[in-house]
Chain A
Amino acid sequence: MVQIFDVLIILVVALNFVALGVSRIRGVINAVALQGVLLGTFPLFVHSQIGRRVILLIVVTIVLKGRVIPVFLVQAMREANIRHQVKPVVSFVSSLLLGAVGTGLAMMFSHTLPLTKEHSDMLLVPASLSTVWTGFLMLTSRREAIMQVLGFLLLENGILLFGLLLLEAMPFLVEAGVLLDLFTGVFVMGIIIHHINREFDSISTEHLSKLKE
């Protein structure tokens, strides 16, 4: 069981790299969506007993992260009639390298944080930090507003990963928080992207740098 879980976690981390390295926006959306679905299944592994509430949580997460948000984003993209290629500030290779460095650092940093006995052999903390790092990387190195939303999604995924550690201690609160954040954030951002679309006929943030010193 634990081995499978570790494999899945490694898969999640691998998806980070996919998201960083893929050049088509659709590809990134898919990678992030897949990561979301994987995350959705994780409560199965950390919860000792699986009740109705956990099932509900799993379903909601998977539907939201794996279906609703990707569709929403694809929709926005289609309406915007934008380029389908990511045009990064930092090249793909460099992004990947930075991602690798970040994952390494996350590993190192997570060693300084003591875990409880039952979590001590889990890879959750480094994976979480690495995902947060990737999210930041995407937020800071991609031009398109939609890619920034995806970066934000990655960031949230990282936080959710960490939240799994607390799932038992503080049931419901964690997921509720994460989902609320995600949902409202993405929802409002979506509206804004819509407006950006209408205003500029593009969702590249290049247009969004008029306000400066």
Chain B
Amino acid sequence: MMTAASLAQSPASSSLLEVEGVGKRFGGFIALDGINLSVAPGERVGLIGPNGSGKSTLVNCICGTLHNETGTVRFDGHSLNKLESHERTYRGIARSFQLPRPFVTMSVADNLRVPLLYAVHTRRGRHLTIEEADARCIELANSVGLGAKINKSPKDLTQIEMRKLELARAMAADPKLLIADESMAGLSDSEVGEIVEMLIKLNESGITIIMIEHIMRAVMTFSQRLVVLVSGKKIADGKPDDVIRNPEVERAYLGQ
């Protein structure tokens, strides 16, 4: 089986993801205002900001759920601007959703099978055999501790299990870049620790990860680098310890 690590070997370009001057508005509301962001292969980046600061919009613009109006999103040296969401998934961007969005009429195994049958299938240009797919589903489910629930409906899962399914499904697409959008909201302290540990393990296997999070403890444990968005603008980008001492960041968080 091909490891995610081997996929993450990126070509000559020094950064995996390059966001250049990306802007997006909804009617009169400016959601993103010329964002620049560059993520190197293997990095663990935390993305924070108050509610409505444009974090989710940025994720949506990177993943293709929304299309940016200005600027360029580059991945592996190629512009993604004209690509649909699923094409970006083929290229190696996977995401989890803020509110888990499982396929509710399918079992856990089938949820994991979807990226295998589409993203992985298209990238490889050939079918996975049933056995290959089954084996990979089991492997993925085990890796997030859902092995025992593989034939259950998502409706029967607890909240943390739902979060885990969300991450496992994103991983099933064999991504180079994983964007975890508030994967820990509503979880208990120990559960948060569990997820952070999982994400760090994934990163160690070679996957670049951007984590959007409100839970500062998780962000500080996880991030090698911290990016702060406020009102659609990037106001800080650097080492986590430096960033949280940045007066502008303090103002943005405490001033409201």
User: Are A and B co-members of a single complex?
Assistant: no
Q: Please report A residues at the B interface, Cβ cutoff 8 Å.
A: none
